[in-house]
Structure 1
Amino acid sequence: MARFLEYQGKAWLAKAGMPVPKGRPAFTPEEVKEVAEWIGGPVAVKGQVQAGGRGKAGIVKLVNTPEEAAQAAAEILAKTVKGLPVQQVLVEEKINIKKEFYCSFVVNGAREARSPMLMFSTEGGMDIESVPEEKIFKFNVDPLFGLQTYDAVDLLAKAGVPAKELSKFANLLTKLSKTYQKYDCQTLEINPFIMTAEGDLICADCKMEIDNSAVGRHPEFEIEIARDLPGVPTELDYIGWSIEETDARGTGFLMNMGYDEVSPGYIGYHPIGGGSAMMGLDALNQVGLKPANYADTSGNPVASKIYRVAKSVLAQPNIDGYLLGGFMMANQEQWHHAHAIVKVLREILPTQKPGLPCVLLLCGNREDESLEILRTGLADLMTVNGPGRRIEIYGKEHVTDTKFVGERLLLLSKEYRAEKEAQGK
């Protein structure tokens, strides 16, 4: 999913006519002071990271003056939440809260539903996770016609909203439903959804996630990578997205996994499919090796797409090996992988990474032909002193033998690193 930070989601809510607090993002304490002066009154300074529990993490502060706002921003911008550095804040007017509510639209993937689902509770705020399930009211929204006013009124009445407020709440929820549909959201969560002391309804927070497959319909969002990333996109993330964005033939997923180029023991990781990926990780974990990246070339992609993914994986600096983890009896024709891997290894090993350990496990449809393509295409590299001297090729005989695969990689990677150290590299 492509996620928006709170300030970005609120900006799109405002464009859709939804009520949000007056505010602007800022990157420095000086900018925060300017925004607070523009707002003219008490403000909330809210750290912007893709993580929940921001209030409990101490990156949401209420202050009364621009000077206090600048000081609060300095403290917040120095923090890290769940491993993510706070690089900007949202400064917005302090709301005079009468009551907090919870509201979200999500995808209900249950077989009997397969539709958007509205969830609403009269108990919102930081502790929404502890609200009893019976106090969260749910309604499956018609995917064609959206949330109708009478359905919203019925749900709100069941939730305990006073009769005199039903029309006001229903109007806001139906508008929010249209916004969810208009922006192709996968998740649109407002927590808290606030009634002020003056009786106004305001979206005080916003979690907005866009369906990856819909990003192409929304160039206005200017989304660079339509993926749920743990932090700031790396060069590998941009490369991976460019592969998937420009070629829809099968999956060619590639993303960074927090690779530390200085530390030893990282392996260029190239699994085929989700189950295969878990088994490959098990192989690495059993022997203390780590994946430098995550990849996936399943769904019968063409060789040219596999080639782009494999070359990007292998091009990572200072990796101690490469694992093609086809731990599956795949239906896809595996010779596409074989042709792609032969081309990549012939390009990279001789000049860039001679002797790099490459454990290639490939099984499934057209397995015999695929293994023969690998063995024949790499034979001249796999001589005793050749650039592919640490290439090992396996088929279905080791499809579930993760311990064996991990141990082979560990042994070869130790040899490779010792060789490099001896050469002063």
Structure 2
Amino acid sequence: MARFLEYQGKEWLAKAGMPVPKGRPASTPEEAREAAEWIGGPVAVKGQVQAGGRGKAGIVKLVNTPDEAAAAAAEILSKTVKGLPVRKVLVEEKLDIKKEFYCSFVVNGAKEARSPMLMFSVEGGMDIESVPEDKLLKINVDPINGLQTYDAVDLAAKAGIAPEELTKFAKFLTKLSQTYKKYDCMTLEINPFVMTGNGNLICADCKMEIDNSSVGRHPEFGFDIARDLPGEPTELDYIGWSIEETDARGTGFLMNMGYDEVSPGYVGYHPIGGGSAMMGLDALNQVGLKPANYADTSGNPVASKIYRVAKSVLSQPNIDGYLLGGFMMANQEQWHHAHAIVKVLREILPTQKPGLPCVLLLCGNREDESLEILKTGLADLMTSDGPGKRIEIYGKEYVTDTKFIGERLLALSKDYRAEKEAQGK
């Protein structure tokens, strides 16, 4: 899912007519000082990362003056939370909080529902897992018409909202339901939304995640990559997304796994399909190797798309091998993979990565022809002193033998590293 940071989500909530605190993002202490001066009073300075537990991580601070806001921002911007550097802070007005509440709209994938679901609780401001079950109310929402006022009133009443406040809560929740649908959200969580001392309801926090498939309908969001990522996009992530974005023929997925380029034991990982990917990871884990990336070329992609993915995988620096993991009897035409891999290896191995271990497991539809394409197309590279001397090709006889495939790649990788060390590389 494509995710917003809190300040981005609040900007879109405000455009949809939802009440949010007065505030704006800052990338430097000086910008934080200016934001606090613009707000004109005590403020909250909140680190912006895609991670929970920000309060416990020390990146949310309440301050009284612009100078204190600048100092707080300087401290927060120097931190890393769960491996994610804090690049921005949100400086916003300190709210006069009378009571905190929880609500979220998510997708209920149960077969009897398959619809949005509203979760609501009078116990807000804590992890949803910590809310007592009897305090968390749930209701499925009509995906076409959204949350109806009478359902919102009924839900709020069951939660214990005072009768004189029911209309206010119903308006807030139905408006949020409309926003959820308008923006094609997968998740829209407000934890907490608060009642202030003067009785207003305000979104004090925001977690917004958009359905990847809908990002094309929302150019206004400005997403570079329409997918969920564990951190900031890398160069490989941008390359992988460009392959998906420009060619819809089958799957050609590619993303970074955060590997350390200076450490040994990472291999370029190229599975074919989801089940195959899990088996390939098992092959690597059994022998202590690690994937430098994740990829997938399934759904019968054309050779040109497979070529782009494979070349990106093989072009990663300092990898100790390449695994084409076809651990499934695929029903797609496997000769597309064979043609693509031959072209890539003939381009990469002779000049860029001579001797790189390449274990190629390919089976399924047109398997015999595909293996012959590999063997014939790479034969002159696979001589004892050729750039492809560590290429090994396997078919269906090893489709479930993850241990064997892993051990072969490990043995070849050790030999490759030893050769590079002897050459002083």
- Normalised-by-shorter TM-score class: over 0.9
Query: Aligned residue for 1:187?
Result: 187
Give percent identity, aligned residues only. Answer: 88
- 1:196 aligned residue: 196
Normalising by structure 1, we get a TM-score of 0.98
1:124 offset after TM fit, Å?
A: 0.7
Q: Could you give the per-residue CA deviations for residues 276-316 of structure 1, whole angstroms, max 9, x where no partner exists? A: 11111111122221111110111221111111100100011
Render the CA deviation track for 1:49-106: whole Å, top value 9, x for unaligned: 0001111211111111112111211221122111111121000000000111111111
The whole-number CA distance in structure 2 between the counterparts of 1:100 and 1:128 is 13
1:376 equivalent in alignment to 2:376: yes
Find the counterpart in structure 2 of residue 82 from structure 1: 82
Contact 1:272 1:327 in 2 (8 A): yes
Corresponding residue number in structure 2 for 1:102: 102
Q: State the partner residue of 2:400.
A: 400
1:127 and 1:310 mapped to 2: Cα distance?
A: 41
Are the counterparts in 2 of residues 29 and 71 from structure 1 also a CA contact under 8 Å? yes
- Cα separation, 1, equivalents of 2:327 and 2:197: 60
Contact 1:287 1:410 in 2 (8 A): yes
After TM superposition, list the pairs within 5 Å mapping 1:18-417 onto structure 2: 18-417=18-417
TM-score by length of 2: 0.98
Q: 1:262: how far off?
A: 1.3
Q: How far did residue 128 of structure 1 move?
A: 3.1
Question: What's the CA shift string for 1:337-362, capped at 9, x where partnerless?
Answer: 11111111111111211111000011
Residue 55 of structure 1 contacts residue 126 of structure 1 at CA under 8 Å; is this kept in 2? Answer: no
Instruction: Report the CA distance between 1:170 and its aligned residue.
Output: 0.7
Deviates more, 1:363-372 or 1:103-112: 363-372
For residue 384 of structure 1, give the secondary structure of its aligned residue in structure 2.
coil
- Given that 1:97 and 1:195 are in contact with CA atoms closer than 8 Å, whether structure 2 keeps it comes out as yes
How large is the Cα RMSD of the aligned pairs? 1.1
Q: Give the whole-Å Cα distance in 2 for the aligned partners of 1:144 and 1:423.
A: 66
Q: Per-residue deviation at 1:421?
A: 2.2
Q: How many residues align?
A: 425
Find the residue that maps to 1:19 and give its secondary structure: coil
The residue type paired with residue 157 of structure 2 is A
In the TM superposition, residue 423 of structure 1 has moved relative to its aligned partner by 2.3
Amino acid at match of 2:341: I
Give the secondary-structure state (helix, strand or coil) at the position aligned to 2:386: coil
CA separation in 1, counterparts of 2:308 and 2:423? 30
**Whole-angstrom distance in 1 between the partners of 2:156 and 2:336:** 55
Tell me, in whole angstroms, the C-alpha distance in 2 between the residues paired with 1:109 and 1:57. 32
What do residues 99-157 of structure 1 show as CA deviations (whole Å, max 9, x unaligned)?
11111111111111111111111111034321112211111111111111111111111
CA contact (8 A) 1:371 1:393 kept: yes
Q: Deviations over 1:317-352 (max 9, x none)?
A: 111110001111222222211111111111111121
For 1:224 and 1:361, how far apart are their aligned partners in 2? 34
Quick check: 240-249 or 412-421, which moved more? 412-421
Counterpart Cα distance in 2 of 1:158 and 1:191: 19
CA distance in 1, matches of 2:129, 2:45: 23
Q: Distance in 2 between matches of 1:320 and 1:218?
A: 41
Whole-Å separation in 1 of the counterparts to 2:342 and 2:109 = 40
* Structure 2 Cα separation of the partners of residues 15 and 359 of structure 1: 53
The amino acid of 1:365's aligned partner reads N
SS at match of 1:69: helix
**C-alpha separation in 2, matches of 1:312 and 1:385:** 26
- CA distance in 2 between counterparts of 1:390 and 1:301 reads 27
Structure 2: gaps (5+ residues): none
Runs of 4+ with deviation above 3 angstroms? none
